[in-house]
Structure 1
Amino acid sequence: MTIKIYGRPNSLNVQKVLWLAHELELSFEHILAGKEFGIVHTEAFLQLNPNGLIPVLQDEYTSIWESQIILRYLAEVYGKEKIWISHPQKRFQAEQWLDWYITSFLPQFSIIFYELVRTPHDKQRLDILPPIIETIEKQLLILEELLSKQPYISGQQFGIADIPLGLALHHWFNFDIQRKIHPHIEAWIQNIRERSSFKKVAYIL
């Protein structure tokens, strides 16, 4: 059975999964789903994900939802020769950044993303952004410190911990806002942007 990935291509959560699938050179079918593409409220889809949300990965007799879990699944099942980290301590040191992204970075970043990318220009609430930008800058100091010691968030090599933040910070550096300089993060994002698998998914809004 061919791997199936359900989701709309302009969703950051779907892009994470598509990026890793390309990174691992997997053969997969991308099924458009969500918002204008529908499908997510059908009985067949709800059998795959009872939450009616994307992305969903269907592989053999298994369906996996929640994008961060899908990344972990693909890395362990298909990436052991490429990006999966076999050493438990090193693996979890890397993967803790997946949760940091969800719990610390994303709540702030998502507000800016929806205001500057998803919201029509005349309805953007630019006045609410300064304190959010300030919070993100403080978070980026933590990431800058990490990347001063290693080339990737995942460690010495690219891994799944680089994917969610790679997509988010790609947009961060494209936003028309005042930013502080973080040389190690900027060097890292330039390397990320050069990856052919990243280029296949990251420029769709």
Structure 2
Amino acid sequence: MLTILGKSTSINVRKVLWTCAEIGVPYQHELHSSEIARLNPNAMVPVIIDDGQALWESNTICRYLAGQHGRSDLLPTEAMPRAQVEKWMDWQATELNNAWRYAFMALVRGSAAHADAAAIAHSAGEWNRLMTMLDAQLATTGAWVCGDSFTLADIVLGLSFNRWRCTPMTRPALTALQAWAERLDQRPAWRQHGANGIP
């Protein structure tokens, strides 16, 4: 059976839990494990163990699970549709994560190392700018991030959206994002692992 290592409050662990819920993958979940540092040289979660092999990096794990279970609806097999999904997943992991990190650490975590007011404002501004980009994409598709179908891009960006709306800062009113959130609210796995009150 698949084993998932990492506490369920982690945004990256929740990506994997949500993906498993969408697919219906049985798993055992270990909140804390001394094995994490050995299995992942970054000593970060999540880590999965499947068929005796360890895998880390949350977006890679989500791709693996979709591929392993033949869920081409979540991650297409054709080159261009797959690349469109992966493009938004990579954007989430690089551009979007880097934008929100300082503001989130200051405003939600209360980190003493993230107390510079100008840096907080810059981070929040970049975060809002990128969420406006996502809003424009959703306004174009009128449905899900990559078109008419729900994919892994919606999972990883859904969790980023949830963190954005839970952070106490000024945010623009983005109507396509709000409509997307209402569509997500129809998914039990999103309500369990995304919109569950944890930023």
Q: TM-score, normalised by structure 1?
A: 0.85
- What CA deviation, in whole Å up to 9, does each residue of 1:19-50 have, x standing for no partner? 101111111000112xxxx5146xxx61x323
Deviates more, 1:135-144 or 1:100-109: 135-144
**Aligned-pair Cα RMSD in Å:** 2.2
Corresponding position of 2:17 = 18
2:76 to 78, 85, 96: 85
Cα distance, 1:82 vs. partner? 4.5
1:171 to 163, 166, 172: 163
Corresponding position of 1:115 = 106
Residue correspondence of structure 1 range 37-56 to structure 2 within 5 A: 38-40=33-35, 46=38, 48-56=39-47
> Which stretches of structure 1, 4 residues or more, deviate above 4 A after TM superposition?
none
2:150 to 153, 158, 176: 158
Residue correspondence of structure 1 range 51-200 to structure 2 within 5 A: 51-80=42-71, 82-119=73-110, 125=115, 127-128=117-118, 129-150=120-141, 151-200=143-192
In structure 1, distance between residues paired with 2:165 and 2:188 = 19
In structure 2, distance between residues paired with 1:126 and 1:165 = 27
Identity %: 28
Change (3 A) 1:25 1:130: same
Please give the secondary structure, in 2, of the residue aligned with 1:50: coil
Paired residues of 1:95 and 1:154 also in contact (CA < 8 A): no
Cα distance, 1:79 vs. partner? 4.2
5+ residue gaps, structure 1, are: none
Paired residues of 1:40 and 1:53 also in contact (CA < 8 A): no
Paired residues of 2:4 and 2:29 also in contact (CA < 8 A): yes
In structure 2, distance between residues paired with 1:123 and 1:66 = 25
Paired residues of 2:2 and 2:48 also in contact (CA < 8 A): yes
Paired residues of 1:94 and 1:154 also in contact (CA < 8 A): yes
Deviates more, 1:139-148 or 1:74-83: 74-83
- What CA deviation, in whole Å up to 9, does each residue of 1:49-81 have, x standing for no partner? 233221111111321111111011011111426
Structure 1 letter corresponding to 2:26: S
Structure 2 letter corresponding to 1:165: L
Q: TM-score, normalised by structure 2?
A: 0.87
Paired residues of 2:73 and 2:149 also in contact (CA < 8 A): no
